[in-house]
Amino acid sequence: MDARVSETVPPPLDARRPIAIAVLAMGGQGGGVLVDWIVALLESQGWLAQSTSVPGVAQRTGATVYYVETIQADGSGRRPVLALMPAPGEVDIVIGAELMEAGRAMQRGFVSADRTTLIASSHRSYAVSEKIVPGEGAGDPAKVYEAARAASKRFLAFDMAAIAEQSDSVISAALFGALAASGALPFPRAAYEATIREAGLGVEASLRAFGRAHDAAVAESKTPSPAPPRGGATSKRFPELRPVGHAGFDALVERARTQFAAPAHPMIAAGLGRVVDFQDVAYGAEYLDRLSTVAAIEAGKADCPLVIAAAKQIARAMAYDDVMRVADLKTRGSRFDRVRSEVAVRDDQLVYITEFMHPRVEEMCGTLPAGLGAWIEARPRLVAALRRLVDRGRRVNTGTLGGFLPLYVLAGWRRFRRSTLRHRREMAHLQAWLDQALAAARRDTALGVELLEARRLVKGYSDTHDAGQGKFSRVMAMAKRLEGRADAADWVRRLRQAALADAEGRALDDTLKTIESFL
């Protein structure tokens, strides 16, 4: 009896504390591949390992928490007790495939100063909460770095996405290299590389990314602490104002180089390229004509702030987002190439892109000849019937002829853009804004610059465009009332910043009330 009972007694539990590893990654970053490599590495070295994953919220493009617990087998037959999810304060290694994923790990308490090695790529993939802000809504990376230094035992961060791209690989291989270099796991570099080889997929590219990331991590480890990436404003690049080999465009370039001061050339190059790409060379000439009016006001000023502001904002106003522009961008070969590159497909694989198209009746009428579009808009019953027809939206697969050709034809309609209702309205709106800005600039250059910069509020397509235009109109109306005051430019700048602070316009409402209180 005793013998039979003893046979059913389970082996004793292993009370040793396992090593806990959390990987936070978004969809398409290869988090699952990285975890598979980690588990394979551990098992190849005689360790016991268990991995789990929990999908996250859609706002982070399918952000997922992967979790591995591992313990070295000691031959005793004892069973380890391994958890299914990370617990706050109990994680030894945290890997963030993007900087704000590292921040999310800290928010959830996975990073602790007494035990956690935090490894993160410093690049950014913006969350929806960052994208919906009309102005600059991106989180400050310096704050994440500051928190990471304080919260972790060791912090290792650099741009692993760039390394993966340079290596024609994916970020999971670069993260694996950083993990190897960190020394957080007691295995040699050769064991990591053998794991990649044994996986058998994209071996050479993965090893390149692994090696470059490993070397970068070793170099980074020699610095006192990782430096946060520079802000976006310092990394902007402008094209040169130079010929491209097209006679018409090159003539515009030569005109711009002789007519405008050198400090404005980079912004003019960007604006000229944008409007010509939007329409044609003749449209580029119209752009320079408008800039000439601005330059005449600012003659003699070496830094030409008025011309620089106008070069940017006039181009934005002239190259507005209409149905034809959207169709053009969605059917360009460069877009298909970019998507294929982003999803890392092979040459023999097919990629189908499904576009969600939801044009409103207003966009449909704006695409028509001005007279016809206005005639339809003047008939409420007809507009209501059309709205019921288009309100459902459409899913268009641009990987098929049936989906691609209608958009391609619509993009070609841009040759008739100047005759459309939308173009007539956009040009009238542009001229009214420019007239007000230049009239103010003749008396107060700083105010003129701020009125030109206010055009930044009008952006996007459909409802986004309407909301921005509504804010813009309110700012311009108040600016009219502020003219003549010594602090007019400062208040218009505050109004613009307030309008960009939130999508709902609460900050703008508060600033307008403040101004009303002293006018």
Which SS3 state, helix, strand or coil, does residue 132 take? coil
Instruction: Judge contact between 499 and 510, C-beta under 8 A.
Output: no
- Count other C-beta atoms under 10 Å from residue 44's C-beta: 14
pLDDT at residue 228, rounded to an integer: 73
- The DSSP code for 410 is H
Dihedral of the alpha carbons of 308, 310, 311, 315, in degrees to the nearest 10: 150
Sheet holding 93-96, edge to edge: 47-55, 64-72, 19-25, 93-96, 117-121, 154-158
Contacts of 8 by beta carbon, 8 Å cutoff, 6+ apart: none
pLDDT at 232: 44
pTM tops 0.85: no
* Pair of tokens at residue 346: 């092979």
Asked if 396 contacts 355 with a C-beta cutoff of 8 angstroms, the reply is yes
User: Which residues on neighbouring strands pair with residue 48, listed in sequence order?
Assistant: 71
CA angle 321, 325, 330 (to 5 degrees): 120
Rounded distance between C-alpha atoms, residue 140 and residue 306, angstroms: 30
Quick one: which of 321, 291, 318, 317 has its CA closest to 306? 291
Is residue 112 helix, strand or coil?
Answer: coil
C-alpha to C-alpha distance for 333 and 354, rounded to whole angstroms:
16
The series of mean pLDDT values per 10 residues for the chain, 519 residues long, is 53 79 82 92 93 69 82 80 88 92 90 94 78 72 88 93 90 94 94 93 92 93 71 63 93 95 94 95 96 89 90 95 91 87 78 84 91 94 86 79 90 93 95 96 94 92 86 94 94 94 89 92
CA distance 408 to 394: 16
181 vs 221: CA distance, rounded Å: 9
Which amino acid, 409?
V
